[in-house]
Amino acid sequence: MRSFRYGGRKGQLFSLKTGEDLVVVRTQSRRPLDAAAQSPQARQALSDLEPVHRFQHAGVEIFRYPHTVRRPSARGAIRATLKSVKGVQFAGQVLIDPQSKTPVLYTENLFVKFDDDLAESTCRKIVKASGLGVKRVLDYARNTFFVEASEGTGQKIFAIAESLLGQKDVELCHPELVRQMGWRTAFPQQWHLKKTTINGTAYDAHANVEAAWALSEGENITIAIIDDGVDLEHEEFAGSGKLIAPRDVTRANDDPRPGSRDNHGTACAGVATGNGFHGASGVAPKAGLMAIRYASPLGSQSEADAFI
């Protein structure tokens, strides 16, 4: 069990448990493991594992041990074989969110915020004394840093975060965590606007939008949609001033158009801000749309960057 706190020393404590039947592997090249595993032993170990999820942009894959391999020593032997593969940076245990039952990956990075009145040089000395290096100085709060531990730190990163948080000059500190992205599905018709009948069935799950329109349709408001991309040429986003400061956090450019596998963000943007000129009105049809593409599980710090 590993624990961390969001919100400082008195913040909420979160715990992650070990997924005993899972193993996580990261390659140095960020390519799939099967491209690196060349030895007969590695090939055999890989063939016995069931793929669970791949974090493509990070070069990380999660596998499930076969049901026939239950003893910890046998699972440890498989991890050791995977670690020995040339090009494998890490092979180890997976942590699980006990609430959602989904894997949570930890990097060897930390978010840390020091007291506002501390000199930056003092902050850097504390970081260095903790065996860490500064990757980035974050500009959305004073004395806030994104720092890294040495390669191979592994789950000790949680203890490092706890130790730092215990220091009197540290306000916030927690590890960077990576979670699998997922979407909630819903009916495609516009049931969110008003009570609707679809194929003879009545759906009353709307947000009372028609009544809200009597007060405002979103004028002088900008809505940011952080999702897997938005079709900027869609007819429901046409009009002067509709699109505001588009950004792609994943590709690090200003073009948030969806990729070939991205099919969620445009629909969400339409639900929020579609102008209704062609029959698909959003909740705030006269609001501006800030389309931000965030299409990969890059970690909690990159997710924060999407908001900034």
Provide the residue range defining the domain that includes 282.
Answer: 196-307
Q: Is the pLDDT confidence value at 217 over 80?
A: yes
Residue ending a domain, choose from 73, 103, 133: 103
How many whole angstroms separate alpha carbon 221 and alpha carbon 62?
Answer: 42
Q: Rounded mean pLDDT of 217-234?
A: 90
Average pLDDT, the chain: 84
Residue 163 has φ and ψ, to the nearest 5°, of: -65, -45
The reply to whether 124 and 51 lie within a common domain is no
pLDDT the model gives residue 183: 45
DSSP track, the chain: -EEEEESSTTSEEEEEEEEEEEEEEEETTSS-HHHH--SHHHHHHHHHSEEEEEEGGGTEEEEE--TT--SHHHHHHHHHHHHTSTTEEEEEEEEE-TTT--EEEEEEEEEEEE-TTS-HHHHHHHHHHTT-EEEEEETTSTTEEEEEPPTT-TTHHHHHHHHHHTSTTEEEEEEEEEE--------SS-TTTS-EEETTEEE-----HHHHHTT-S-TT-EEEEEES---TT-GGG-STT-B-S-EETTTTBS-----TT--SHHHHHHHHH-B-TTS-B-SSTTSEEEEEE--S---HHHHHHHH-
- Among 112-116, 122-126, 228-232, which stretch is predicted with the lowest mean pLDDT? 228-232
The reply to whether 6 and 28 lie within a common domain is no
pLDDT digits (tens, 9 = 90+) for 178-214: 887 654 443 345 555 556 655 556 656 556 676 677 6
The reply to whether 138 and 259 lie within a common domain is no
Strand-pairing partners, residue 173, are 112
Residue with tokens 């049809």: 285
The reply to whether 66 and 150 lie within a common domain is no
Residues contacting 13, CB < 8 A, separation 6+:
3, 4, 5
How many whole angstroms separate alpha carbon 116 and alpha carbon 119?
Answer: 8
Q: Rounded mean pLDDT of 216-231?
A: 91
Residue 81: inside a domain, yes or no? yes
Residue 301: inside a domain, yes or no? yes
For Cα atoms 269, 284, 213, give the angle at the middle one, nearest 5 degrees. Answer: 155
The reply to whether 299 and 200 lie within a common domain is yes
The reply to whether 286 and 165 lie within a common domain is no
The reply to whether 8 and 125 lie within a common domain is yes
Confidence of residue 267 (pLDDT cuts 50, 70, 90): confident
Confidence of residue 92 (pLDDT cuts 50, 70, 90): confident
pLDDT the model gives residue 193: 58
pLDDT digits (tens, 9 = 90+) for 14-65: 999 999 999 998 888 878 887 776 778 778 878 888 888 888 777 789 999 9
- Give percent of the chain with pLDDT exceeding 90: 38
pLDDT digits (tens, 9 = 90+) for 35-48: 776 778 778 878 88
Residue 93: inside a domain, yes or no? yes
The reply to whether 143 and 290 lie within a common domain is no
Residue 185: inside a domain, yes or no? no
The reply to whether 114 and 172 lie within a common domain is yes
- Give percent of the chain with pLDDT exceeding 70: 84
pLDDT the model gives residue 157: 96
Residue 189: inside a domain, yes or no? no
pLDDT the model gives residue 198: 54
Residue 51: inside a domain, yes or no? yes
Number of domains comprising the chain: 3
The reply to whether 230 and 263 lie within a common domain is yes
pLDDT the model gives residue 185: 40
Residue ending a domain, choose from 103, 127, 143: 103
How many whole angstroms separate alpha carbon 78 and alpha carbon 39?
Answer: 13
The reply to whether 215 and 269 lie within a common domain is yes
Residue with tokens 């819903």: 186
| pTM of the predicted model as reported, rounded to 2 decimal places | 0.63
Residue ending a domain, choose from 50, 78, 103: 103
The reply to whether 66 and 143 lie within a common domain is no
